[in-house]
Amino acid sequence: MDERSIVFDNYQPSSYNEFIMFENLKGFIKPGSIEERLVNQIDFNRLPRHVAIIMDGNGRWARKKGLPRVEGHRAGAKSVKEIVETCARLGIKVLTLYAFSKENWKRPKREVYTLWKLLKDYLKNESKVLVENNLRLKVIGQKQGIPAIVRKELEKVEKLTTDYERMTIVLALNYGGRSEIVDAVKEILGEKNFHAESLDEEKFSEYLYTANLPDPDLLIRTSGELRISNFLLWQMAYSEIWITKALWPDFRRKHILQAIVDYQKRERRFGDVHS
């Protein structure tokens, strides 16, 4: 293991990236902790640019504790705050959180209501934090289907943070990967003077909700489920997948650090042969 420690006063960063990281994590990671051990294993010149997370397991977390499902969602909001802060401090550029799928409308009314209410509260409480920390918020999904009162709040925060560039937090809301693709096709077909020959993968990507964002390098799913659940179908063509049994409300800093450490051990080949 690397003997240097980011919390030691005599630490000498070996690159500009490491220096920035050192400044950002100083005082945030406890000396001698498991988090510190993991941070010391991360190569900050090879961070995943875009981390996407399927935040799953809130309901099971609540059931295990004999609580109503909505309490799991409430507890999950705390994980969101911790993971947003950790990713920003690490220097991740894009963090996408799958918060509400198009299919989630099938759930009981009370649960659906609580999910949107929690999101609204999150925006109200956190918009100041976003501004103070240079964090941009962007929503992907079918916006017109989002309850108006929440949509308004989202649009306000999106506008407020549009120029911030430390990290972009992408919230997938009323999101479905298939409908994203269908929506893109509809938009393309609506273009005047559209020529099929001019369409290629790069061009097509510009019509997706994620236009101008890099594809996810790392996909994390909590709660041990081995499926994609209609998330970023196009964009995930070559993402590395990391699954943990931890339920979302239990997902902490050490988990995301472990995911990044493991990601950096993978060999991404993109169809090529070993280098």
What are the residue numbers of the active site? 56, 104
Residue-wise over 100-132: b if at least 16 C-beta within 10 A, else e? Answer: bbbebeeeeeebeebbbbbbbebbeebbeebee
Pairing of strands 50-54, 240-243: unpaired
Residue 56 interacts with Mg ion (CB under 5 A)? yes
Count residues binding ligand IPE (CB under 6 A): 18
Residue 61 interacts with Mg ion (CB under 5 A)? no
d(CA 257, CA 183): 35
Segment near Mg ion (CB under 5 A), from 8-16, 56-64, 203-211, 242-250?
A: 56-64
Residue 141 interacts with ligand IPE (CB under 6 A)? no
Segment near ligand IPE (CB under 6 A), from 39-47, 51-59, 145-153, 237-245?
A: 51-59
Applying CB under 6 A, among 29, 47, 55, 70 the residue interacting with ligand IPE is 55
CB half-sphere exposure, 252, CA atoms < 13 A: 6
Residue 42 interacts with ligand IPE (CB under 6 A)? no
Residue showing the smallest CB distance to ligand IPE in the complex: 59
Map residues 245-274 to x or -, x wherever contact with ligand IPE holds by CB under 6 A: ---x--------------------------
d(CA 52, CA 117): 23
240: how many CB neighbours lie within 10 A of its CB? 19
Applying CB under 6 A, among 29, 42, 59, 141 the residue interacting with ligand IPE is 59
Applying CB under 6 A, among 229, 241, 243, 252 the residue interacting with ligand IPE is 229
Residue 52 interacts with ligand IPE (CB under 6 A)? no
Angle CA 173–176–179, to nearest 5: 125
Residue 100 interacts with Mg ion (CB under 5 A)? no
Could you write out the DSSP letters of every residue in 45-114?
A: TS--SEEEEE---HHHHHHHTT--HHHHHHHHHHHHHHHHHHHHHHT-SEEEEEEEEGGGGGS-HHHHHH
Closest C-alpha to 115, from 129, 97, 130, 128 = 97
Applying CB under 6 A, among 54, 157, 169, 256 the residue interacting with ligand IPE is 54
d(CA 151, CA 145): 9
Residue 77 interacts with ligand IPE (CB under 6 A)? no
Segment near ligand IPE (CB under 6 A), from 39-47, 132-140, 198-206, 224-232?
A: 224-232
Could you write out the DSSP letters of every residue in 226-246?
A: ---TT-STTTTTT-EEEE-SS
Segment near ligand IPE (CB under 6 A), from 121-129, 151-159, 207-215, 220-228?
A: 220-228
Residue 95 interacts with ligand IPE (CB under 6 A)? no
What is the length of the chain?
275
The minimum distance between CB 78 and Mg ion, in angstroms, equals 18
Applying CB under 6 A, among 22, 44, 100, 263 the residue interacting with ligand IPE is 100
Binding site for Mg ion (CB under 5 A): 56
Binding site for ligand IPE (CB under 6 A): 54-60, 98-101, 104, 115, 223, 225, 227, 229, 248
